[in-house]
């Protein structure tokens, strides 16, 4: 049972508006082999929400019709959706760049032994969660043994050509703070990650993305249970940087849930805030958006949006400035 989050219906976050659509971020379901404490999706092994074949086909049709440039796949563990490989292969056939938001440990699970090879063969960019380069911290956040599994997966990806300087197979890692704090500066943290992982495990990667934890779902519930929700939200607001408003990911991205409903971002999806939501607005399905111009449309904002603009900023591509 998760603590009830304080209402985020009212906000003083600045209104922002959409640019040209370029990225489709698709949540293939909330099923995951892990239950991480920082997970904003509240994913886990007991979740059964998975995108079906008809919705996958709809996503592909939208990509082709609207000339989407990037398909960003997330979950849960997106690879656990039975239609994952078909979606990836067809999107690549259409010339679309595909990003897999991978938790790394899935590559070491029984039945997924050939997954890394499939991703390499399709030239899928991997953005992998490794919330720290220290074993105890990762195991505390994600479960005992997950760090070792992650290292084995990274080593396997390196052997396939991922994460090599100048190579075509890009491998990015994601850092999340352990608790109610903003992430440190991304560039020096990347240097520390690269030095430690290379020295101790022979692992190389391309970029590190430092992401702030947003006060929603599992992490938000933890803040409430510890009486820290308002304090953390104030920390985000106190560090709001106006410059970040020009770079937040929701400007050119649509988030699609496992049923095909559309949101301004993955975080709004978790809060069930419909695309450009105003009071009483119904959820919008992807099939309603074919041929519809979105440029200039308002983006649904609430208090949690300060998590993307605080300090150096935070997005699915890491720091904004």
Residues near 314 by beta carbon (within 8 Å), at least 6 away in sequence: 183, 210, 211, 212, 307, 308, 320
Closest CA to 256 of 223, 211, 289: 289
Helices (H), 23-114: 53-66, 84-93
Parallel, antiparallel or unpaired: strands 261-263 and 284-285: antiparallel
Tokens representing residue 255 in the block: 């988030």
Tell me if 250 sits within 8 A of 215, measured CB to CB. Answer: no
Q: Any bridge partners for residue 101, and if so which?
A: 127
Q: Which helix (H) or strand (E) holds 166?
A: none
- Per CATH, is 23-309 categorized as 3.40.50.300? no
What six digits make up the tokens of 63?
């990509």
CB atoms within 10 A of CB 280: 5
Q: Provide, for the chain, the percentages of residues in helix, strand and coil under a 3-state DSSP scheme, each rounded to the nearest 5.
A: 35, 15, 50
pLDDT in tens, the chain (321 residues): 344 455 455 689 999 999 999 999 999 999 998 766 555 666 777 888 999 999 999 999 999 999 999 999 999 899 999 999 999 999 999 999 999 999 999 999 999 999 999 999 999 999 998 988 988 888 887 778 889 999 999 999 999 999 999 999 999 999 988 789 999 999 999 999 999 999 999 999 999 999 998 888 778 888 999 999 999 999 999 999 999 999 999 999 999 999 999 999 999 998 889 998 765 678 999 999 999 999 999 999 999 999 999 999 998 889 998
C-alpha–C-alpha distance, residues 307 and 321, integer Å: 14
Helix (H) or strand (E) holding 1: none
The neighbour count for residue 54, using CB atoms within 10 Å, is 10
The two counts, helices (H) then strands (E), for the chain are 10, 9
Question: Which is nearest to 197 in space by CA: 115, 125, 128?
Answer: 128
Q: Largest Cα–Cα distance of the chain, in whole Å?
A: 55
**Complete edge-to-edge strand list for the sheet that includes strand 284-285:** 207-210, 171-175, 125-129, 97-102, 70-74, 23-27, 253-256, 261-263, 284-285
Asked if 264 contacts 273 with a C-beta cutoff of 8 angstroms, the reply is yes
pLDDT at 139: 81
């Amino acid at each position: 049972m998760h603590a009830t989050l304080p209402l985020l219906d009212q906000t003083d976050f600045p209104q922002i508006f959409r640019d040209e659509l370029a990225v489709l971020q698709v949540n293939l379901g909330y099923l995951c082999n892990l239950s991480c404490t920082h997970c904003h999706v509240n994913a886990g092994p007991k979740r059964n929400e998975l995108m079906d074949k008809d919705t996958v086909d709809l996503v592909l049709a939208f990509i082709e019709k609207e000339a989407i440039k990037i398909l960003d796949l997330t979950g849960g563990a997106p690879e656990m959706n039975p239609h994952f490989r078909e979606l990836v292969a067809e999107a690549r056939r259409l010339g679309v760049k595909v990003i897999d938001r991978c938790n790394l440990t899935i590559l070491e699970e029984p039945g997924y032994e050939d997954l890394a090879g499939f991703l390499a063969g399709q030239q899928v960019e991997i953005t992998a969660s490794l919330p720290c380069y220290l074993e105890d911290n990762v195991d505390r956040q994600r479960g005992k043994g997950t760090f070792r599994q992650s290292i084995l997966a990274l080593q396997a990806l390196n052997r396939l050509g991922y994460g090599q300087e100048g190579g075509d197979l890009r491998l990015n890692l994601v850092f999340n703070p352990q608790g109610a704090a903003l992430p440190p500066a991304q560039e020096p943290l990347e240097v520390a990650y690269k030095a430690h992982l290379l020295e101790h495990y022979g692992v190389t990667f391309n970029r590190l993305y430092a992401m702030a934890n947003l006060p929603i779902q599992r992490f938000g519930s933890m803040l409430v249970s510890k009486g820290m929700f308002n304090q953390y939200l104030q920390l985000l607001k106190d560090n709001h940087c106006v410059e970040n408003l020009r770079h937040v990911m929701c400007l050119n991205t649509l988030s699609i849930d496992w049923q095909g409903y559309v949101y301004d971002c993955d975080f709004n999806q978790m809060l069930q805030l419909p695309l450009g939501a105003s009071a009483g607005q119904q959820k919008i399905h992807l099939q309603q958006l074919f041929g519809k111009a979105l440029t200039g449309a308002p983006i649904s904002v609430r208090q949690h949006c300060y998590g993307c603009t605080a300090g150096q900023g935070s997005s699915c591509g890491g720091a904004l400035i």
